[in-house]
Amino acid sequence: METTLAMVKPDAVAAGHLGRILDRILKEGFRIAGVKMLRLSQGQAEGFYAVHRQRAFFADLTRFMTSGPVVAMILERPDAIATWRRVMGATDPAKAGDGTLRKEFGTNLERNATHGSDAPETAATEIAYLFNMLEIYSTD
């Protein structure tokens, strides 16, 4: 069993797509081990995306991620990271494949509806950043 962090971004929450995204998550065989809605502060968004601090898009990204609530989830299933990234599609919705969440719900490179961890180490870091142990349901 593998875990990953998934996030429904402010654009998709505001547009009312949360239910359809959750439905897709369940249809893809994920188990939700943790879920919460929160509004990131500027400092929290900067910490979460610290790996991108030196990139030109950092300020716009963190401003967008604090513009409204997000829904963060811990997803579990075999091969969770690769599966979630396939379900999300390419970062740029214009390049995302048909049937992917970003193709269906994203509008541009920044407002692309969802976030997902890209590696086991990233997933562990992102999950620990947004969830404490009391907020995670484990079947172990």
Q: Could you give the C-alpha distances from 130 to 95, 98, 105, 133, in angstroms and in order?
A: 29, 30, 24, 10
* Token output for 76: 């579990």
Active site residue 17: no
Alpha helices, H only, 28-119:
42-48, 58-65, 80-88, 101-105
Catalytic residue selected from 17, 24, 103, 115: 115
Task: Decide: helix, strand or coil at residue 19.
Answer: helix
Task: Decide: helix, strand or coil at residue 72.
Answer: strand
Amino acid letter, 94? A
What CA–CA distance (Å, rounded) separates 35 from 31?
11
Active-site annotation, residues: 115
